[in-house]
Amino acid sequence: MTSNDFSSAQGTPRHDLESSPAATVSAGPGPGPAPEDLLRRLRARGATDPVTHVERVPARAGVPAPWPPWASAELRAAFATRGVVAPWQHQAEAANLAYEGQHVVVATGTASGKSLAYQLPALATLLADPRATVLYLAPTKALAADQLRAVAALELEGVRPACYDGDTPRAEREWIRKHSRFVLTNPDMLHHGILPGHAQWSGFLRRLAYVVIDECHTYRGVFGSHVAHVLRRLRRQCARFGATPVFVLASATSGDPATTGGRLTGLPVTAVTEDASPRGGVTFALWEPPLLPPEAGSAAPVPPQAIGSPSVPPQAIGEHDDLRQVRRSALRETADLLADTVAEGVRTLAFVRSRKGAEVVAANARRSLDEAVPGLGDRVAAYRGGYLREERRELERALLHGDLLGLASTNALELGVDLVGLDAVLICGYPGTRASLWQQAGRAGRSGQEALAVLVARDDPLDTYLVHHPEAIFGAPVEATVLDPANPYVLAPQLACAAVEAPLTPADLALFGDGAKEAVDELVAAGALRQRPTGWYWRHRERPEVDLRGEGGAPVCVVESSTGRLLGTVDGGSSHFLLHPGAVHLHQGVSYVVDDLDLADGCALVHAEEPDWSTHARDVTDLSVVSVRSYVDAGPVGMFLGEVDVTSQVVSYQRRRIATGEVIDTRPLDLPTRELRTVAVWFTLSPQSLALAGVQPADVPGALHAAEHAAIGLLPLMATCDRWDIGGLSTAVHPDTEAPTVFVYDGQPGGAGFAERAYGTASAWLRATRDAIAECGCETGCPSCVQSPKCGNGNNPLSKPDAIRVLDVVLANLPD
């Protein structure tokens, strides 16, 4: 076995990095400069050193383990033909646990070969027991298709693996139900197809030995909560047929995977987290773009410039500009880095979050290079999703031969082009989770060579925190995948689905967990269920319509007006924000502008257009406390978790230039108010404690508001959410708490688990929030610390120093 590329287990199934190792582009002409030398030159070009940390991620040799004794010679031989000589330690450990009948989650790095951990016990069982069956669940059809290819390629007698999803022709479905022993599907198909048709699946379910849940970290928030109940419905049907399958889960690295796996399945789950796969070494730099001068033309600090790059125009600060840009933008910084690495002959891939951003990075890098050496700019290109297969192959070829040295891409590249063995990877902005970060960094590293990865921080509190706290990236993960199966907005419809499949019994209520009895009582009161001596029965002819992907109102259809083509849907909860008239809407990499949002018809009319601005909706919010679930009384400070009612109205939107973030204008909107009952975490402080800490009464609103923004920005550090999944509200005196209060709430009806996670990790969360604010180099607050891109109050008032005082008071009193 070789160990020539960073975080990749050669020879094991690697669906989570590349779909087809055969198409991989690896080595090319000539070795580039050593990563340390390259980095030294990059950081020396400006007046100030933008690098906050350099981490040497050493090469790691893999730790192989012997085949488990129960893996037959036939199975070992089949894997050997696919290049797997022996399992890695973590694969063997998870496989052994599963084979012994323990529910297990394997949570290791990208491409550490998690598939072998479940394929081994599942396939060994299928070979040993000719009647046994296996159900495999993937979050996407594409991943299931990948896995099907991997299992089919083993050519094992009698397994007959098959995908069963919305694309499966009717004619094949019956054959699959009757004859396949390894069915690959997704939670939606399980929910809409397999469980309602359980009678037809009885033969399969009765013999079900394993349920494999791949990429289980994707089941988070409300979607994850729904999937948790779909799995409980599956367990119920299996139990009716006398089967008790073992669950094997595969997850990206995350905080506390055993707890998350337990919540998802409702079963005790053992975690295997020690990654024993080999990886190449990488030099990983954290890069914070420098502060801009306070006023155009004023004194230092001077923004550093790439060799030959155009000068930085002063940031236009308009009247409506409530987001003062005080730092050089991550896009410009990434473009300069790309130009510099390409000028050094270094094969570089830059990951940028939006397609337009990727084009801006490529265009700026091209211009810089052409100014230095005319024609050099041609060696840089932008990559967007939606290319044809031949175009992708051409791009791979150009990179392989060195015609192309620099590529700026969205993460669409993950799905399309197969590239490893680059010399350097630039990551423009934290991609949201450590899993994505490592996936992107893992593109760097040619055979046997060290590589360079650079994370360029955007002006966002989380990015700021991370570049100053490398331990949050390179140490033990803290971000956990959260879900809340007790959400009544999820539980009630799922119980209704279960009742259609078979009447609910008192024993079932324990299976569905906390709140199930109350939900059943409400369904009875609403006339949906009828109680009889033998259980609760569904009263209607039709099945309930339940969408796993969210319950924020009926989804809104996005329709192209010129053709009438349905482009897709947006969940009702987000529609006001994302589909208001004038909104720029991205669909599969193509940009559309909304002409009209018809709320009565649940439909938004759009036309294709790619303006050079983005749109940002703003809302006004009111909040009242419904009940308190749990609280901590910490003297002058109180920390609470409970239900709240949030009333909000989207009232305007801003248009901002994509390249610079400059605000063009703010336009009013006329949309109705909406109400949301959800879960919130909130803290209160006594006015005396604030005064003692030196916060003047007049500054209390700005202090709380700034702390609220930063706290929302940092919550993704603790839970896999993004700041758009959560909302906040702060006030110097709230009628329900009668004290200065900061609320942070889940954006989905009934909650999604984020506020609960925030409550459970309150001191760590607020400590990180405090540090992010204190460590930002700006004077009065900026988007990197206390300003928010979705503030309903135009980021006013905000007091950065007082926010630190507020959080110090909270942290001094709150127990760890």
Q: List residues binding Zn ion (CB under 5 A).
A: 776, 778, 782, 784-785, 791, 793
Supply the minimum distance, in Å, between the C-beta of residue 746 and Zn ion: 17
Nearer to Zn ion, 579 or 782 (CB): 782
Nearer to Zn ion, 11 or 716 (CB): 716
Burial class (CB in 10 A: 0-12, 13-18, 19+), 406: buried
Q: Mark out the alpha helices in 544-616 (DSSP H runs).
A: 572-578
Nearer to Zn ion, 414 or 708 (CB): 708
Nearer to Zn ion, 454 or 803 (CB): 803
Supply the minimum distance, in Å, between the C-beta of residue 801 and Zn ion: 11
Answer yes or no: are the C-beta atoms of 208 and 248 closer than 8 Å: no
Nearer to Zn ion, 409 or 784 (CB): 784
Nearer to Zn ion, 293 or 513 (CB): 293
| Count of CA atoms in the C-beta half-sphere (13 A) of 685 | 29
Nearer to Zn ion, 545 or 779 (CB): 779
Supply the minimum distance, in Å, between the C-beta of residue 115 and Zn ion: 43
Supply the minimum distance, in Å, between the C-beta of residue 287 and Zn ion: 17
Cα–Cα dist 146/646, whole Å: 43
Answer yes or no: are the C-beta atoms of 271 and 105 closer than 8 Å: yes
Tell me if residue 531 falls in helix, strand or coil. strand
Task: Give the type of residue at 36.
Answer: E
Nearer to Zn ion, 548 or 782 (CB): 782
Supply the minimum distance, in Å, between the C-beta of residue 783 and Zn ion: 7
Nearer to Zn ion, 10 or 788 (CB): 788
Nearer to Zn ion, 440 or 652 (CB): 652
Nearer to Zn ion, 323 or 472 (CB): 323
Nearer to Zn ion, 636 or 789 (CB): 789
What stretch of H or E contains 227?
A: helix 221-240
Tell me if residue 627 falls in helix, strand or coil. strand
Nearer to Zn ion, 561 or 796 (CB): 796
Cα–Cα dist 469/432, whole Å: 16
Supply the minimum distance, in Å, between the C-beta of residue 327 and Zn ion: 8
Structure token digits, residue 681: 């975490």
Supply the minimum distance, in Å, between the C-beta of residue 768 and Zn ion: 15
Supply the minimum distance, in Å, between the C-beta of residue 259 and Zn ion: 32
Radius of gyration of the CA atoms of the chain, in A: 27
Torsion (CA) 431, 437, 443, 444 in degrees, nearest 10: 110
> Is the C-alpha dihedral spanning 670, 673, 678, 680 positive or negative?
positive
Cα–Cα dist 520/493, whole Å: 10
Nearer to Zn ion, 778 or 804 (CB): 778
Supply the minimum distance, in Å, between the C-beta of residue 796 and Zn ion: 8
Structure token digits, residue 437: 């970060």
> Is the C-alpha dihedral spanning 93, 104, 480, 147 positive or negative?
positive
| Count of CA atoms in the C-beta half-sphere (13 A) of 36 | 4
Nearer to Zn ion, 396 or 619 (CB): 619
Tell me if residue 150 falls in helix, strand or coil. helix
Tell me if residue 112 falls in helix, strand or coil. coil
- Residue recorded with tokens 């599907």: 185
Supply the minimum distance, in Å, between the C-beta of residue 319 and Zn ion: 19
Supply the minimum distance, in Å, between the C-beta of residue 293 and Zn ion: 15
Answer yes or no: are the C-beta atoms of 208 and 245 closer than 8 Å: yes
Cα–Cα dist 723/664, whole Å: 23
Supply the minimum distance, in Å, between the C-beta of residue 682 and Zn ion: 15
Give φ, ψ of 167 to 5 degrees. Answer: -90, -10
The angle formed by the CA atoms of residues 637, 485 and 816, to the nearest 5 degrees, is 25
Cβ contacts of residue 511 below 8 Å, gap of 6+?
232, 235, 236, 266
Tell me if residue 640 falls in helix, strand or coil. strand
Burial class (CB in 10 A: 0-12, 13-18, 19+), 158: exposed
Cα–Cα dist 261/146, whole Å: 23
Cα–Cα dist 580/802, whole Å: 35
Supply the minimum distance, in Å, between the C-beta of residue 585 and Zn ion: 24
Nearer to Zn ion, 82 or 790 (CB): 790
The closest of 780, 799, 792 to 707, measured between CA atoms, is: 799
Structure token digits, residue 284: 């990983």
Query: How many angstroms separate the most distant Cα atoms in the chain?
Result: 85
Task: Give the type of residue at 397.
Answer: R
Supply the minimum distance, in Å, between the C-beta of residue 788 and Zn ion: 5
What does DSSP assign to residue 131? T
Looking at the DSSP assignment, which residues form a beta bridge with residue 182?
134, 161
Supply the minimum distance, in Å, between the C-beta of residue 648 and Zn ion: 12
Cα–Cα dist 186/136, whole Å: 8
Supply the minimum distance, in Å, between the C-beta of residue 792 and Zn ion: 6
The closest of 347, 405, 401, 348 to 376, measured between CA atoms, is: 405
Nearer to Zn ion, 366 or 468 (CB): 468
Reading phi first (left if > 0) and then psi (alpha if -120 to 50, else beta), residue 19 is in: alpha
Cβ contacts of residue 709 below 8 Å, gap of 6+?
461, 728, 786, 787, 788, 791, 795, 798
Nearer to Zn ion, 259 or 793 (CB): 793
Supply the minimum distance, in Å, between the C-beta of residue 761 and Zn ion: 23
Supply the minimum distance, in Å, between the C-beta of residue 11 and Zn ion: 47
